[in-house]
Structure 1
Amino acid sequence: MRENENQQTNNWDRDTGEVLKEYALYVQYIEDFGRVKKVYSDRGTFALKSILPHNGIDFIKNVQKLYHRGYNRIVPIYQTMDQRYAVLHNGRLYYLMPWLNNERNGERDESHKQMFRELARMHTLSVKEIEVDIEERESHYERTLDSWNNEKDFMDEYIDSCEKKWYMSPFEMTVCSFFTDISQALRYSIKKFETWYEKTKESEKIRTVVTHGKVSLKHFVYDERGYGYFINFENSNTAPPHFDLLPFLVKSARTYPVQCDDCVDWLYNYLRYFPLKEEELLLMQSYLAFPGSALEIVKNYSDGRGHRTELDNVTQLQRQFWLLKNIEYMVMKIEEIEQKKKAATEAVKEEQSPPS
């Protein structure tokens, strides 16, 4: 076993050495951090990262696009001696960056705020309107709405079947106790989705940005001056801005029951620097509120799919219910803030309108 491990290490060292030759580095020492290697050399300390080749084309293209737009809060990718940004070797793609120690001096909340400011700035510099096919949008709308209405019908029928039983299983009893909340989330999602479509069905353009694809504090590092930089752009894409916002908010809500006011503050810190249009926020609210994880657990149980025990199913459903309620709090806070903003706007209009 140890010989295999030593052989694997030697192979990796050999691969690393071959790749680093492309950068004309004299390597003194290498530390292994999995897919990232910390390289000590005569020209400083670097991070060498390996990824699968199919992730590399868009990733490098998007990073270069951001550089050309003037966004420099990305850990730079160094070129090889022959001006390549990555090296393909033994089925892996390697790229070289400076090594940042990532010393955070501030509070966690301030780190999040700084990250969202930078995300907003990145989106601002890369924003671009693209044309969309109106028929394609309509088709997407109808497919999604049909799917969500089918989910609603399924839940109604499932609850009816549970309530007709003399003895419900623990899972079925738990579903019945959560049914009202799941149904409310579904209705809210459908309502926002319908409102979004009414506002956009005649529009021929949408806004896209270069998205990071995996926003988290782990992928936002600091240099010795306290400046923050994004790393790990392998999942970057050109997409609407909520493609970065939604996964972060949902992941933040995957915890025990909590009223995450900080999450709402982070979102609105982003919106100060890159305001979403009304229709963009409507679509994000719709997707955010949709209780897809809870519905999936119920459907899998109903269909007999999976190999979880009754206890495991109840536990998983409880966790998805916590997620639903945590997101519900965020959604209602966003709703409250937006209603206050609309009321304030209407009040200003009334004050400025001439008396009749």
Structure 2
Amino acid sequence: MSDMNPFDPVVPILKNYQVTPYFVEEHGNIKKVYSNKGTFALKKIGPTTGTDFIRHVHLLYQKGYNRIVPIYPTMDGRYAVLHDKALYYLMPWMPNEVKEDRNHKHEQLFRELARLHTLSAKDITVNKDERTEHYEKTIELLDKKQEFLDGFIDECEKKTYMSPFELVYCLYYNEISQALRFSKTKFEEWYEKTKEVEKARMVITHGKLSSEHFLYDDKGYGYFINFENARFGSPIHDLLPYLSRSFNTRPTRNDEAVEWVYHYFKYFPFKADEKLLFFSYLAYPIPIIQVVERYYKKEQPKNELKYVRMLQSKYWNLKNSEYVVMRMTELDEQAKQAKEGAQQQ
């Protein structure tokens, strides 16, 4: 017998699946539904999100990739139900009891991501003029950022008494500039390598990669959820935000992050040009530059303590990304030399 109020909004939604709910728990955008057919997760998404992602999920299933929490069809074959100006879709509920350490979980996540990218990879034709235009616009942007950094330090150094923020900025200026120059150099190398190439590799990207979106079933297998931002794009778009978040700590030798990426490369190796672009984006010190720009544009009075703290935390982010990028370029160089050495013999 159902304990549910027949007027509860989930009742008419679940009717489409011939599921009778007994009890529902709220978990943010997800409702945990106990029912006559087992335990389900009912997810609510905005109507503007659209259901394109379901196409990508199905495409992956067709290609034999089954480490995505399945989306159940309604009795009449729809994969989402429109109710009260929102869309809902139904999945099995994952117990998500992790029986292993954090690093093993990350390794499993990156291995599954690599498999997802491998199975969905395809070469697309790239218009050379568009690539050149993208290159020129990016270089122009990087040069503007450098001009801003240079102009601001000149302004600071002319002052007899600098503000606390300006003083700290002067200490960090060289390292910010160095990261920006490195990013630009790698981007130029990428362009040199690809300007005559007419193909680029695209994959289905998850679009919101996070360890919170990788859940475990009762057998301990990991599955991706939250595919609403999935689209065809460069595999770099999945790796970058994930790594950037891991840099938001105090300065540390983040060898774990390097291990995650190389674990991913084991199953989905990047081509030389993809690596150059990846290193360029990873080194780009945009978080710290944005703080400096915000401070510069802010009218007086400025909350110096707040801005110095923000600058400090983004500087740590910069140092963490710098360590990871340098370590990866070093490993890459070693691999190249070993390969050349083997060829010479």
TM over 0.5: yes
Matched, 1:344 2:338: yes
**1:299: how far off?**
1.2
2:54 aligned partner: 60
Structure 2: 5+ residue stretches without partners? none
Identify which of 207, 213, 236 aligns with 1:213. 207
Match of 1:85 in 2: 79
C-alpha spacing 1:322/1:79, structure 2 compared with 1 (3 Å): same
Q: CA deviation at 1:259?
A: 1.2
Q: 1:294 aligns with which of 288, 296, 300?
A: 288
SS class of match (2:51): helix
Deviation of 1:262 after TM superposition, in Å, equals 0.4
Equivalent position of 2:137 in the other structure = 143
Letter in 1 for 2:64: G
Checking the alignment, whether the CA contact within 8 Å between 1:192 and 1:283 is kept in structure 2 is yes
Aligned ranges for residues 305-344 of structure 1 at < 5 Å? 309-344=303-338
Q: For 2:149 and 2:312, how far apart are their aligned partners in 1?
A: 17
Q: 1:165 aligns with which of 154, 159, 165?
A: 159
After superposition, where does 1:1-356 map in structure 2 within 5 Å? 14-304=8-298, 309-351=303-345
Q: CA deviation at 1:178?
A: 0.3
Percent identity, please: 51
Tell me the CA shift for residue 257 of structure 1: 1.3
Q: Deviations over 1:153-194 (max 9, x none)?
A: 111111111111100000000100001110110000000000
Q: Which runs of no fewer than 5 residues in structure 1 stay unpaired?
A: 1-8, 352-356
Task: Please give the secondary structure, in 2, of the residue aligned with 1:206.
Answer: strand
CA shift, 1:35, in A, is 0.9
CA–CA separation in structure 1 for the residues paired with 2:189 and 2:220? 43
SS at match of 1:40: strand
CA distance 1:305–1:79, shift in 2 (3 Å)? farther
What whole-Å deviation, never above 9, does each CA across 1:90-146 have from its counterpart, x for those lacking one?
A: 111100000011011011000000110000001000001111111011001000001
Paired residues of 1:221 and 1:230 also in contact (CA < 8 A) = yes
Compared with structure 1, are the counterparts of its residues 25 and 305 closer, same or farther at alpha carbon in structure 2 (3 Å cutoff)? farther
What letter corresponds to residue 314 of structure 1 in structure 2?
Answer: V
Q: CA deviation at 1:10?
A: 8.2
- Can you list the C-alpha shifts for 1:269-300, whole angstroms capped at 9, x where unaligned? 00000000000010010011000111111112
Paired AA for residue 345 in structure 1: K
Q: TM-score, normalised by structure 2?
A: 0.97
Instruction: Give the paired residue count.
Output: 342
- What letter corresponds to residue 294 of structure 1 in structure 2? I
TM-score by length of 1: 0.94
SS in structure 1 at match of 2:240: helix
CA contact (8 A) 1:120 1:270 kept: yes
**Is contact 2:11-2:20 (8 Å) kept?**
no
How far is the alpha carbon of 1:206 from its aligned partner?
0.4
Higher helix share: 1
